[in-house]
A and B are shown apart, each in its own frame.
Chain A
Amino acid sequence: MTTWSSPLGLYRPGSSVVHRAPVWLRLGALTALAVALVVLRGPGTAAALLLATVALAVLARLPWRSTLRGLAGVLVTAAALFAYQTWQRGWAVGAEVSADLVTMVLAATVVTATTPTDVLLDLLTRAVRPLRRLGVDPEAFGLAVALMLRTIPALGDLFGEVRDAARARGLERSPRAQLVPFAIRTVARARLTGEALTARGVGD
């Protein structure tokens, strides 16, 4: 089984400019970038935003080899999107959509790589606190985001196990033999994780 390598959720300690920037600024910039990617149109703007994000990743001193390995899945998806959109709506739209996707994932990677999850959890909990009156549980919200970051590589590993099991039984070409056990094991894992969180008193 190969271990899933996800770019998200892995904090890398450091003292770069990005590491030293306030957390609210990093998250605010990520939100602003997301809005800009939706509002601003054209392949030129998309390329400029992608270059700016790459520059940020360089400033944050992300290790390129593992970052690229983590982004491999996104790059493949972006290539497929580029091909489809170019066929349907022309190369300009294809380039814009695929560049926007890579930009957003890379920017999120920069934020998670320079921010300890614990700090992120604190900030999200504080940010959501005003919504408590509407029934939102700030601790639960922050924890859900942290759990999502951990779940991405965990599900990748789980899929690898299911795929290897299907291969061992000569069922590598059967999507059902892979997707059904994957769905069942994902639900089982979610239930176990919930039980483990309760056991640790999280959410009590």
Chain B
Amino acid sequence: MIEFDGAGVEVFVDGPRGAGTRTLLAPVTCALTEQRVAVIGANGSGKSTLARLVNGLRLPTSGSVRTCGLDVASHGPAVRAQVGFVFTDPDAQLVMPTVIEDVALSLRRTVRDARERADRAAEVLSRFGLADHLHTPVHALSGGQKQLLALAGVLATDPRVLVCDEPTTLLDLRWRRVVDDLLDGLTAQVLQVTHDLDAALRAERVLVIDHGSVVFDGDPGEAVSSYRSLMAVR
């Protein structure tokens, strides 16, 4: 469960027009209990800021956020142990030279023995259809394979909540389907920031964000209509 209690984010800006604060996200209050939640909105509207609040990658400057019952500001490491995060660009997320080593990195916190870690990583990769690429250099994978690997690395630790920040934006249709099917089959709670309205329609609850504020929160069909109307006005 993810709970926002008046959680907002403001940043200090010192630009040519002078110094001041800018609101990235106006205070949000809601409790997300559904297993599939989508967040939609225009570029720069505050979707990623909201997603980053969930595991403490960004801390609220007002209010608070609780994930799995823990306050993200005071229990950051404990929250991140239970919350996986997948970024838009897998290149930024994959930090080890080869495929198996990247998944093993995720397991370092929980599996002490190196051989057992390698076995577990190989097992995870075979579940994700990457068994033929265990020792392939990460930079030699295709974009879809990289995103799949990023997901494998995050899901290797069995998180209770998975936050995905536009995980399919850079993928072609085939890989988009693969990633969508994978996300749909998870038992963990999934909060997905997306521009893919089909994916949003498959969620149980959708938040629409515009200019840093949640302007709609509820049924996916109505949320998508609301978002289309917002974009049509512009």
Contact = CB atoms under 8 A, between A and B. Distances in A.
B87 A196 contact: yes
B231 interface: no
A122 B97 contact: no
Interface stretch (A4-12, A32-40, A102-110, A166-174): A4-12
B97 A10 contact: yes
B137 to A, nearest CB: 5
- The A contact surface, by secondary structure, is helix
Contacts of A202: 105, 108
Interface stretch (A77-85, A91-99, A128-136, A147-155): A147-155
Interface in A151-204: 153-154, 157, 189, 192-193, 195-202, 204
B57 A198 contact: yes
B93 interface: yes
Interface residues of A, number: 33
Interface string B94-129: 111110110011101100001001100000000000
Contact of B118 (A118, A150, A153): A118
B22 interface: no
B97 A117 contact: yes
B143 interface: no
B89 interface: yes
A118 B101 contact: yes
B92 A150 contact: no
A16 interface: no
Given A3-B140, A199-B85, A11 B114 contact: no
Interface of B: 55, 57, 76-77, 80-81, 84-85, 87, 89, 91-98, 100-101, 104-106, 108-109, 114, 117-118, 135, 137-140, 153-154, 157
Interface of A: 3-4, 9-13, 112, 116-119, 121-122, 146-147, 149-150, 153-154, 157, 189, 192-193, 195-202, 204
Given A119-B114, A189-B92, A199-B93, 14 more contacts: A4-B139, A10-B98, A10-B137, A117-B96, A117-B98, A121-B108, A146-B95, A150-B94, A193-B92, A193-B95, A198-B57, A200-B153, A201-B109, A204-B77
